[in-house]
């Protein structure tokens, strides 16, 4: 899909944008809104794509209604990345068009268009004058009445706070000083992060909001809480309030979903210090949210892990696994920047324990994930290679008791154009290699060592040999990261 950044004009060129250029950007964004996947070469993107007559009518209306120096924008976080959304917001069976953009003063706004008498016309304007960006946008029927509610998380400018505004299309618009119809929010809340979901399976959608409560002194850490709200009779109702950890810089994710075979829940993830992260899991039990993780019995008893985490359903069973990660063992003096991290994906059993679903190594630069074979668990480690060309990671045999280590294998990402030359050179060196995956212009291959050090004990040499037997298994263990 076309990169979101391609759809935004450079700020330094904002006042040079002509209406015709705005229209060109709108055309591309409508393509995104219709769900098309564009995979042509960059040169093809220079050509104006053909669009249907009804889309042309929307574009003409948008070009006419938006301020002269405006530019379309995409919220930082939204289910579908698009600047033009076609949604039936009032339940009358006809789609409205909701457009997000920066106005001539670089302030984010939304404009809603109605299709009336076979013509698209601007209907209402939605704005927050003190905002500098749209962090979150969600359009959802919160109470199942067929009417959509609009939630916008605005990032405040300078000393202005971040706010979550909730709008209902059932409210009567008012006219601003310029005579334009405006939709005012029904509710405005302090806002750090928000998400929607059905925590109790009653069919109604709840809004979960993390808010910063403020501090007494500027140098104090902020205090946070988590509040669940219901939407009833076109009004917001506070339902449940839960204190959350204040030992974080900020909360970056909130996930609704199933957290065990029999529990719904919420997972929070935030940043701590320069590199670490905090994770918490709450389960819905007996009409309350109960903190499940962190727990005292966990090795991560405080929920703090030394690098970023991203919990999700890794095995597709509908249950979210917690992402635990730790530095590869055996190399305590390795600088943080050069550390390799081993990931464990843990699923709560709904009672007292977490069960490991899988253990893997991810390289986000290459976008690959290597599932660790059972034969390696507890007796391997990883490290950076010694500047070896195309090497991604070195995998070592490691004995925790004796601290014996020796290179077992090396994972490579070789550009496809170079693969024949590299493979030929390896053959001349009598090096083994096996192709695991071809993706994104790279050949991912693994090369195993021939044998364990000859001065090792028979027991350790046997363990080393067992770890070498997984070569064929690794073909299905290396996958492309989809998140």
Mean pLDDT of successive 10-residue segments in the chain (483 residues)? Answer: 32 33 39 33 40 70 90 88 88 91 94 91 93 95 91 88 94 90 94 96 95 63 90 93 91 96 97 92 95 72 85 95 94 89 96 94 93 95 89 96 93 96 95 93 95 92 94 92 71
pLDDT at site 483? 59
Q: What is the pLDDT of residue 25?
A: 43
Q: How far is CA 152 from CA 133, 230, 435, in A?
A: 10, 16, 47
8 Å CB contact between 447 and 426:
yes
Whole-number pLDDT of residue 296 = 59
Number of Cβ atoms within 10 Å of the Cβ of 14 = 14
Q: Are strands 84-87 and 478-480 parallel, antiparallel or unpaired?
A: unpaired
| Cα–Cα dist 237/199, whole Å | 15
Q: How much is the pLDDT for 118?
A: 85
Give the pLDDT confidence score for residue 34 in this predicted structure.
38
Residue 215 pLDDT? 52
Instruction: Quote the CA–CA distance of 48 and 219 in Å, as a whole number.
Output: 53
Which tokens sit at 298? 């966990």
Q: State pTM to two decimals.
A: 0.82
Give the burial string for 179-207 (b: 16+ CB within 10 Å, else e): eeeebbbbbebbbbbbbbbebeeeeebbb
Which pLDDT belongs to residue 117? 86
Q: Tell me what pLDDT residue 172 has.
A: 92
- CA–chain centroid gap for 374, Å, is 29
């Amino acid at each position: 899909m076309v990169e979101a950044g391609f759809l935004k004009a450079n700020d330094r060129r904002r006042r040079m944008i002509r209406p015709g250029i705005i229209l060109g950007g709108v055309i591309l964004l409508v393509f995104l809104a219709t769900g098309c996947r564009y995979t042509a070469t960059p040169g093809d993107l220079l050509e104006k794509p053909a669009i249907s007559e009804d889309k042309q009518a929307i574009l003409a209306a948008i070009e006419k209604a938006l301020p002269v120096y405006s530019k379309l924008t995409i919220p930082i976080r939204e289910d579908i990345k698009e600047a033009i959304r076609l949604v039936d917001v009032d339940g009358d069976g006809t789609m409205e068009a909701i457009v997000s953009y920066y106005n001539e003063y670089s302030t984010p706004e939304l404009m809603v268009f109605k299709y009336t008498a076979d013509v698209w016309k601007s209907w209402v304007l939605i704005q927050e004058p003190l905002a500098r960006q749209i962090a979150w946008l969600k359009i959802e029927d919160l109470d199942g009445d067929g009417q959509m509610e609009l939630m916008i998380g605005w990032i405040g400018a300078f000393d202005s706070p971040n706010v979550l505004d909730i709008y209902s299309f059932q409210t009567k618009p008012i006219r601003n000083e310029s005579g334009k119809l405006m939709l005012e929010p029904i509710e405005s809340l302090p806002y750090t992060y928000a998400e929607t979901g059905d925590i109790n399976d009653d069919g109604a959608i709840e809004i979960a909001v993390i808010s910063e409560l403020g501090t007494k002194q500027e140098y104090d850490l902020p205090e946070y809480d988590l509040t669940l709200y219901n939407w009833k009779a076109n009004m917001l109702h506070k339902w449940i309030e839960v204190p959350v950890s204040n030992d974080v810089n900020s909360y970056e994710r909130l996930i609704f979903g199933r957290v065990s075979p029999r529990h719904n829940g919420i997972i929070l993830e935030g940043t701590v210090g320069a590199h670490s992260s905090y994770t918490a899991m709450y389960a819905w039990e007996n009409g309350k949210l109960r903190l499940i993780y962190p727990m005292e019995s966990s090795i991560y008893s405080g929920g703090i892990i030394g690098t970023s985490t991203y919990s999700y359903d890794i095995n597709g069973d509908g249950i979210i696994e917690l992402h635990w990660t730790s530095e590869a063992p055996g190399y305590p003096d390795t600088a943080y920047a050069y550390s390799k991290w081993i990931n464990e994906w843990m699923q709560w059993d709904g009672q007292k324990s977490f069960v490991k679903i899988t253990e893997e190594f991810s390289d986000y630069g290459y976008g690959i994930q290597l599932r660790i074979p059972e034969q390696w668990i507890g007796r391997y480690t990883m490290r950076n290679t010694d500047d070896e060309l195309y090497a991604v990671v070195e995998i070592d045999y490691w004995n925790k008791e004796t601290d014996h280590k020796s290179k077992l294998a090396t994972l490579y990402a070789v550009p496809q154009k170079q693969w024949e030359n590299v493979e030929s050179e390896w053959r001349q060196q009598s090096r083994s290699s096996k192709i695991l995956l071809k993706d994104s212009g790279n050949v991912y291959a693994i090369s195993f060592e021939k044998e364990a050090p000859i001065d090792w004990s028979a027991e350790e040499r046997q363990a080393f040999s067992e770890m070498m037997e997984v070569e064929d298994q690794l073909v299905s263990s290396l996958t492309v990261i989809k998140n």
